[in-house]
Amino acid sequence: MTNLLVELFVEELPPKALKKLGDSFATVLADSLKAQGLAAADAAVTSFASPRRLGVHVAGVAPKAADKAVQQKLMPVAVALTADGQPTPALLKKLASIGAGPEVVPQLKRQPDGKAEALFWDSVQPGATLAQGLQKALDETLAKLPIPKVMTYQLADGWTDVKFVRPAHGLIALHGADLVPVQALGLTSGRSTQGHRFEAAQATVSVDTADSYATQLREQGAVIASFAERRAEISRQLKAAADALSLTPIDDDALLDEVTALVERPNVLTCAFEQEFLAVPQECLILTMKANQKYFPLLDSHGKLTRHFLVVSNIAPADASAVTGGNERVVRPRLADAKFFFDQDRKKKLADRLPGLAKVVYHGKLGSQGERAERVTAIAHAIVQQLSMATLPYTVEADDEFKVLDSKVKQAATLAKCDLLTDMVGEFPELQGIMGGYYARHEGLRDGVAIAIEDHYKPRFAGDALPRNHTGTVVALADKLETLVGLFGIGQLPTGDKDPFALRRHALGVIRILVEKNLPLELPALIAAAVPAFGELITNPSDALLGFFADRLAVSLRDQGYSAQEVDAVLALQPTRLGDVPKRLVAVRAFAALAEAASLAAANKRVGNILKKVEGELPTEIKPELLQEAAEQALATAIAEVQPQADRLFEQHDYTGSLKALAALKAPVDAFFDDVMVNAEDPALRANRLALLGRLHAAMNRVADLSRLAA
């Protein structure tokens, strides 16, 4: 077996797409070779992806796939042969279509095919040659590349159009040292590629063998072809440069991937900007350096931005002063713009911008951002009212009675969207909320209000932090509920993978806040409180929205490692207070580990099926005098003993204890189903036994629907 190397040399590829393009090129091509029998299923595959090339190295590729025995069904014997065993015209036509003649008829096999017999033709299918197989693999690979936007360009003849991500200029296909003749994008395979534009020892690199490719490119072409190696080298250099200053580079995987896709020979350099710019909020400076310049800002041990930053250069001159000086000169206007925006924005109070929100359209059917701010304020007030009347205690900050909290919430909700009209957010929309917090502090607003304005978008993404204080928690809930209720109320629901308003993310945000902060709020009541804020603009979406939340919650819980059975058991009861859900899941998992669990779950399922078949209203009164069988008497006694204990633990929110208490019911439940006929002929007896099962079912299903745990 010999190793294979394929490289497609192109003009600069889109950096944000390079990693996916490289992975797809290598994976699809290798999988195709494996499927054709040209490479082993466990063959090692190495991907190459640089700004100007996509490549793959596949270990142990055969020059020709093994021949394969093939059995082909032709047709039923009754159709293929005459009564005296001669081939019919239909059979002869079929044989001709597969390249065989009448002489093979005696070699055909008669085998049962269902109720009849059919003729089968055994043949040997020649294995594909590497040239044939690689051509097929290359065609499949190019067709399946996840190209973000296709370019159309002409070949050298001036007439032929080619569609690809970028114009391609070279193709290598080497099997060991041998050239494999294949074609793609108007190119014929060779062994030459191009090195680094400026640093290569020789502009054109002639690759000797498949195994020498990466080494030759590095030594002769000054290119690290592997995306993973180049990324690791950048990480190493970033850390070394930061360590020299006792600082830390900002952690951003997306930025690291993008920079890796921009350079072929990384060289990290240290630069700095003027101290005066640090007066600007560091989020602004970090964002402009990352988004516009692809720089790595450096933070001190407290996570504060410093004036130093790192640049990943694509060249390594002996004197790097021109490179560092150029980058420092380029970043200065960007930082100056940020400082100007910050200074200008602080000349106007957030409250003074409030009338301007009326001129900013939020949605054609839901009005302006000003109207939206009013709705968020109204919903936030309703949430505070629900908190103040919650049956479970909810302790706010020491200096906050609920009236004070309501005042803070109203102020924060009213001003939360005002920073949308600032120059800084206009330039960097990612800073909305964050800048509002800075401007609120500058005005001297209460710190709790400033934090709430900053945090009201949280959590912005999976794994993001939750709002830090009670005011921010309420406003964040109100903001997300306003979006969900409003858009569901006008029929703007997510479909498939399309979710232009990020409603799934908003729903997960509400779920995380309610669960992780264990708020004493019920989801149906929250949705119901949000609907009146819209007046006649929407139709009530409560049912659809509750179903949407249930789906999002189920997905989230399964992602956290809970089994589908555990999640179904808890969510089947449609718990309204989501803060209870984790405790219920822990209880279900503990119950499932009990020796009695399987039997009780199966019995619970059986009870549920019996009760579903009851016509009319289910009897509820258990008459002791009608408990005739010893087994039903024992079950009634066991329920009378166990249910109060389980209910008491349930009311104390000790769900694990409540479920474990049910284990004592196993023996009497098993005996009941062994010895007692539920559907007795006597109507009074039957009704009494159904009432007993109803009591059992209610006792067993307060924490979760245990029947969902049955195998």
Residue 398 has pLDDT above 60, yes or no: no
Looking at the chain, the domain(s) classified CATH 3.30.70 span: 2-65+129-219
In this structure, are residues 524 and 547 in contact, taking their beta carbons and an 8 Å threshold? no
Q: What tokens were used for 176?
A: 């060991």
Residue 399 has pLDDT above 60, yes or no: no
The whole-angstrom separation of Cα 335 and Cα 322 is: 20
Instruction: Say whether 196 sits in a helix, a strand or coil.
Output: coil
Does the CA dihedral 212-213-217-223 come out positive or negative? Answer: negative
Of the candidates 139, 167, 141, the residue with the CA atom closest to the CA atom of residue 12? 167
Task: Provide the percentage of residues in the chain whose pLDDT is more than 70.
Answer: 99
DSSP 198: T
| pLDDT value of residue 617 | 78
Amino acid at site 484? L
| pLDDT value of residue 397 | 61
The whole-angstrom separation of Cα 665 and Cα 401 is: 47
In degrees, rounded to 5, the angle at the alpha carbon of residue 19 between the alpha carbons of residues 13 and 22 is 75
Q: What tokens were used for 445?
A: 């607003």
Span 352-561: which CATH code?
1.10.3210
* pLDDT tens track for 296-346: 999 999 999 999 999 999 999 989 999 999 999 999 999 999 999 999 999
Q: Exposure pattern of 307-316 as b/e (b: 16+ CB <10 Å)?
A: bbbbbbbbbe
DSSP 169: E
Looking at the chain, the domain(s) classified CATH 1.10.3210 span: 352-561
Residue 413 has pLDDT above 70, yes or no: yes
Mean pLDDT of all residues belonging to the chain? 91
Instruction: Say whether 192 sits in a helix, a strand or coil.
Output: strand
| Residue 640 or 115, more confident | 640
* Strands, E assignment, 570-659: none
Task: Give every CB contact of residue 154 below 8 A, 6+ residues apart in sequence.
Answer: 160, 161, 162
Does the CA dihedral 530-531-537-540 come out positive or negative? Answer: positive
Instruction: Say whether 52 sits in a helix, a strand or coil.
Output: coil
In this structure, are residues 524 and 509 in contact, taking their beta carbons and an 8 Å threshold? no
The whole-angstrom separation of Cα 368 and Cα 371 is: 5
* pLDDT tens track for 31-85: 999 999 999 999 999 999 999 999 999 999 999 988 887 778 888 887 878 888 8
In this structure, are residues 205 and 217 in contact, taking their beta carbons and an 8 Å threshold? yes
Residue 422 has pLDDT above 80, yes or no: yes
The arithmetic mean of pLDDT across residues 583-593, rounded, is: 91
The arithmetic mean of pLDDT across residues 278-297, rounded, is: 94
Confidence of residue 106 (pLDDT cuts 50, 70, 90): confident
The whole-angstrom separation of Cα 119 and Cα 603 is: 54
Q: What tokens were used for 304?
A: 């504060």
| pLDDT value of residue 668 | 87
Query: Which of 138-147, 600-609, 652-661 shows the lowest per-residue confidence on average (mean pLDDT)?
Result: 600-609
Looking at the chain, the domain(s) classified CATH 1.10.730.10 span: 581-709
In this structure, are residues 73 and 81 in contact, taking their beta carbons and an 8 Å threshold? no
The whole-angstrom separation of Cα 647 and Cα 283 is: 52
| pLDDT value of residue 279 | 94
The whole-angstrom separation of Cα 603 and Cα 597 is: 10
Rg from Cα positions in the chain = 35
| pLDDT value of residue 45 | 96
Residue 100, phi-psi category: left (phi > 0), alpha (psi -120 to 50), beta (remainder):
beta
| pLDDT value of residue 601 | 87
Q: What tokens were used for 555?
A: 């997905």
The arithmetic mean of pLDDT across residues 166-195, rounded, is: 95
In degrees, rounded to 5, the angle at the alpha carbon of residue 235 between the alpha carbons of residues 230 and 239 is 150
Exposed, middle or buried: residue 617 (CB in 10 Å: 0-12, 13-18, 19+)?
A: exposed
The arithmetic mean of pLDDT across residues 151-156, rounded, is: 90
Q: State in words which class domain 581-709 has.
A: mainly alpha
Q: Which residue has the tokens 């995306």?
A: 227
Exposed, middle or buried: residue 38 (CB in 10 Å: 0-12, 13-18, 19+)?
A: buried
Highest mean pLDDT among 571-580, 662-671, 681-690: 571-580
Residue 400 has pLDDT above 70, yes or no: no
**2-65+129-219: which CATH topology?**
Alpha-Beta Plaits (3.30.70)
